[in-house]
Amino acid sequence: MKSLTTTFFILFSIFCAAQQTYKQTLKLMGSRFDITVVAVDSIEANKNINLAINEISRIERLISSWDKNSQTSEINRNAGINPIKVDKELFNLIERALGISKLTDGAFDISYASMDRIWKFDGSMEAMPTKQEVNASVSKVGFKNIILDKTNSTVFLKNKGMKIGFGAIGKGYAADKAKDLLISAGVTSGIINASGDMNTWGKQPSGEEWKVAITNPINKSKVFALLPITNGAVVTSGDYEKYVKFDNTRYSHIIDPRTGYPASGIISVTVFAPKAELADALATSIFVMGIDSGLDRINQLPKIECIIIDTEGNIIKSKHIKIDRS
């Protein structure tokens, strides 16, 4: 549902008197994860990194719609048939996802997984789908048809053929959970980077804040913003690698789950938030909502900021974000 930018560069000191940064890169949840921790030696670092790996793998087993044994797959198999009792953790994640759907007027919707894949972004499309095909593609999508029973911890998809998926929120949630676990284990500083869904805490061994450099996708050779990030998350969603163009209009691979049509007008959205889960969901939502509606919604939310780059390369930011261009 979305392409994650690789234009983040983590700037940190490699050595400090007592502590150093240790980093491991591996594939989890079908994506690249970079796990960085500050520790006194490699033994301590590897132990903590393994804690994070195990936690991310646990989350994947819980939420994966590709794993036939997951509770998410069980929910999807029983669409239109029976409610499914799930772990409280999964129930709460779905409940929060529905809250974001309401907040964004349906621009974010985990039932997007029900959508027919009629848009192709591999260069094979020669014409736009018909209006009838587009309407049919989203006929089973609709977060209001996800029925939650808090007392019994059950999830029911009201219509047959409905599916839920966590592609636009799962990696952010996993990054949050890994961060929380490492903090509880006494890790004072680190970064969980889930293919661009970055979650940080603490500071560099030098005492400086972690920083992210953000580039304009139209001109990747130049950094336009250098931003400190302390105990928070930053997520970028971009369409500059996956899109189609018809009648001089550029259509993103990010599809509006309400209409079945791709988002247009934006090529990159970066969201700063306390949690990667929320930043992940909002980055996708702004693409769908558009610049004006997206900014209006972000400006009403506490502790949330965003940077938007439109198809002309213009940079638009939310009210309170400060950009260091030096």
Considering the entire predicted model, what is its pTM?
0.88
User: Rg (Cα) of the chain, in Å, rounded?
Assistant: 20
User: Which amino acid makes up residue 211?
Assistant: K
- Joined tokens for residue 39: 């520790």
Question: 228-243 burial, b if ≥16 CB within 10 A, otherwise e?
Answer: ebeebbbbbbbbbeeb
Q: Helices 276-289 and 88-103, interaxial angle, to 10°?
A: 30
- Is domain 71-157 annotated with CATH 3.30.450.260? no
User: Residue 240's pLDDT is what?
Assistant: 66
- Joined tokens for residue 215: 């580039």
Q: Taking the C-alpha atoms of 61, 66, 68 and 70 in order, what is their torsion angle to the nearest 10 degrees? A: 30
Instruction: Identify the CA nearest to 96 among candidates 271, 299, 256, 280.
Output: 280
Q: Tell me the HSE value of 301 on the side-chain side, using a 13 A CA sphere.
A: 22
Residue 259 to residue 197: CA distance in whole angstroms: 27
User: Residue 237's pLDDT is what?
Assistant: 84
User: Residue 216's pLDDT is what?
Assistant: 67
C-alpha of 169 from chain center: 5
Q: How far apart are the first and last CA of the chain?
A: 34
User: Residue 293's pLDDT is what?
Assistant: 95
Q: Taking the C-alpha atoms of 104, 109, 115 and 119 in order, what is their torsion angle to the nearest 10 degrees? A: 50
The pLDDT profile of the chain, 326 residues, written as one tens digit per residue, is 444 443 344 444 444 447 899 999 999 999 999 999 999 999 999 999 999 999 999 999 999 988 899 999 999 999 999 999 999 999 999 999 999 999 999 999 999 999 988 998 888 888 899 999 999 999 999 999 999 999 999 999 999 999 999 988 999 999 999 999 999 999 999 999 998 888 999 999 999 999 887 776 766 666 767 788 888 999 988 876 678 888 888 888 889 999 999 988 898 899 999 999 999 999 999 999 999 999 999 999 999 999 999 988 888 999 988 765 54
User: Residue 250's pLDDT is what?
Assistant: 80
- Joined tokens for residue 255: 């599809």
Label residue 187 left, alpha or beta by phi (over 0 means left) and psi (-120 to 50 means alpha). Answer: beta
Residues with Cβ < 8 Å from 142, sequence gap 6 or more?
Answer: 106, 109, 111, 159, 162
3-state secondary structure the chain: CCEECCCCEEECCCECCCCEEEEEEEEECCEEEEEEEEECCHHHHHHHHHHHHHHHHHHHHHHCCCCCCCHHHHHHHCCCCCCEECCHHHHHHHHHHHHHHHHCCCCCCHHHHHCCCCCCCCCCCCCCCCHHHHHHHCCCCCHHHEEEECCCCEEEECCCCCCCCCCCCHHHHHHHHHHHHHHHCCCCCEEEEECCEEEEECCCCCCCCEEEEEEECCEEEEEEEEEEECCCEEEEEECCCCEEEECCEEEECCECCCCCCECCCEEEEEEEECCHHHHHHHHHHHHHHCHHHHHHHHHCCCCCEEEEEECCCCEEECCCCCCECC
User: Residue 146's pLDDT is what?
Assistant: 98
Residue extents of the structural domains in the chain: 3-60+172-317, 71-157
Parallel, antiparallel, or unpaired for β 266-273 and 305-310? Answer: antiparallel
CATH number, span 3-60+172-317: 3.10.520.10
- Opening angle at CA 147, ends 145 and 153, nearest 5: 160
